[in-house]
Amino acid sequence: MKYLTEFHDPALARRLLDTIAATARRRWTVMEVCGGQTHAIIRHGLDQFLADQVEFIHGPGCPVCVTPLEMIDRALAIAARPEVIFCSFGDMLRVPGSETDLFSVRARGGDVRVVYSPLDAVRIAENNRDRQVVFFAVGFETTAPAAAMAAVTARRRWLTNFSMLVSHVLVPPAMEAVLAAPDNRVAAFLAAGHVCTVMGTEQYEPLVATFRTPVVVTGFEPLDVLEGVRHAVEQLESGRAELANAYPRAVRPEGNPAARMILADVFTVCDRAWRGIGTIPRSGWRLSPAWADLDAETRFDVADVRVAEPAACHSGEVLRGLLRPPDCPAFGTACTPRRPLGATMVSAEGACAAYFQYRRLAPAGPSTPAVDRD
Ligand code: SF4
């Protein structure tokens, strides 16, 4: 049972829900591309409150979930080397590779350390000049500026023992891949507000123009998500397709120019494999030629590590909005957060983990009961 009193501002939540209900004359399919938004939707039951107006489908918005299996295996190969201190954000340690994970490598004696910032890894390199220190640089446009700053800092400090295993991904090409797929069901997108704080909003204009699909830049709080949905439904009902910013308190059209400048220097756009989806053209960043000496794939000769995704996990369909987590045969049985089969169950931001954590074992459909709107 979900209550409006759980919202920060119940009166505003009610107004937004009523506006959406009064506007929508049919049920629209809306995709969010942000793990934080996915959790807000499921935790606060927005899909249940709006069951008659909106079908939420959850796109590839969790950076841990989309990091490809072969990149995890490259990380495992590097982390197992005795001369290496391997530094990673904590949520990558449990992500299963084809045979093991970083936690297991650490249990077997590998020096795998959790860091809270890429600059922590630079400090570790400074204090361990006789060891090779590798930072696992994963994530969207949001985390990439800090990784770029780590590269700049390491070079300024003449650290020759620091490198990065880079697997950064870019959101707009993934949205384009979803829209271009023959089985696309998305009528409107909620774009990830935190990505736009860095990159701005102009990158979505070609998507809106080409696919005639509304894109609404949206924050993470449940009220932010409702405001984003309100914008999207109003556009859909009036036949418009526009780029709208429903998160103006954080997002400026130009994004963060200083962050964009350092990103353009350190990284260059490349084709990137997305876990469960496959390779999406020009959807990632790798180190630019001027920074290639920091590339851990080359330094440790792991670029040729290639593996196939396990057939048992349907996370690729989940990440493209074709399958809701509770509809996966393994959900909650063979696959749980304690024993995950796929990255969307491992990561705290993953859609499968969100449904499991909030005990949402059945999808919300039209006129879903068990919602107390007051
Ligand atoms: S429930 Fe588990 S097996 Fe099914 S798609 Fe999600 S992560 Fe994969």
Which pLDDT value is given to residue 369? 41
Task: Give residue 124 CA to ligand 1 midpoint distance, Å.
Answer: 36
* pLDDT at residue number 361: 63
Q: Is the CB of 331 under 6 A from ligand 1?
A: yes
pLDDT reported for residue 340: 83
Quote the pLDDT of residue 63: 85
DSSP calls for 299-342: HTT-TT---PPPTT--HHHHHTTSS-GGGSTTBTTTB-SSS-SS
CA of 326 to the centre of ligand 1 (A): 9
368 half-sphere exposure, CB direction, 13 A CA radius = 22
Q: Is the CB of 328 under 6 A from ligand 1?
A: yes
Q: CA-to-CA distance for 260 and 342, rounded, in angstroms? A: 32
Rounded to an integer, what distance in angstroms lies between the CA atom of residue 180 and that of residue 212? 12
Q: Can you give the pLDDT at residue 29? A: 96
Q: Is 352 in the pocket of ligand 1 (CB under 6 A)?
A: yes
For ligand 1, is residue 341 a contact (CB within 6 Å)? yes
Asked whether 122 lines ligand 1 (CB < 6 A), one says: no
Q: Among 238, 184, 172, 250, which Cα is nearest to 209's?
A: 172
- The structural domains of the chain, ordered by start, are 2-63+172-250 (3.40.50.11750), 64-170+255-299 (3.40.50.11740), 315-356 (no CATH)
Q: Is 330 in the pocket of ligand 1 (CB under 6 A)?
A: yes
Mutation pick for ligand 1 pocket among 328, 338, 361 (CB with most ligand atoms within 8 Å): 328
CB atoms closer than 10 angstroms to residue 131: 15
Question: In the prediction, which pLDDT does 1 show?
Answer: 57
CA pair distance 57, 196, nearest whole angstrom: 21
Token pair of 280 as six digits: 């999406």
Compute the distance from residue 337 Cα to the ligand 1 centre, in Å.
Answer: 10
Distance, CA 340 to ligand 1 centroid (Å)?
7
Per-residue pLDDT of the chain (374 residues; tens, 9 = 90+): 567 777 888 999 999 999 999 999 999 999 999 989 999 999 999 999 999 999 999 988 888 888 888 899 999 999 999 999 999 999 889 888 888 899 999 999 999 999 999 999 999 999 999 999 999 999 999 999 999 999 999 999 999 999 999 999 999 999 999 999 888 999 999 999 999 999 999 999 999 999 999 999 999 999 999 999 999 999 999 999 999 999 999 999 999 999 999 999 999 999 998 887 889 999 999 999 999 999 999 999 997 766 666 677 888 888 888 888 999 999 999 898 888 888 788 877 788 998 998 876 655 565 544 444 44
Please work out whether the CB of residue 321 comes within 6 Å of at least one atom of ligand 1: no
Ligand 1 pocket check: which of 319, 320, 344 to mutate, most ligand atoms within 8 Å of Cβ? 344
Q: Are 122 and 157 in contact (CB under 8 A)?
A: yes
Helix (H, G, I), strand (E, B) or coil at 162: strand
Q: Which letter does DSSP use for residue 295 in this model?
A: B
Residue 62 to residue 33: CA distance in whole angstroms: 8
75 C-beta closer than 6 A to ligand 1: no
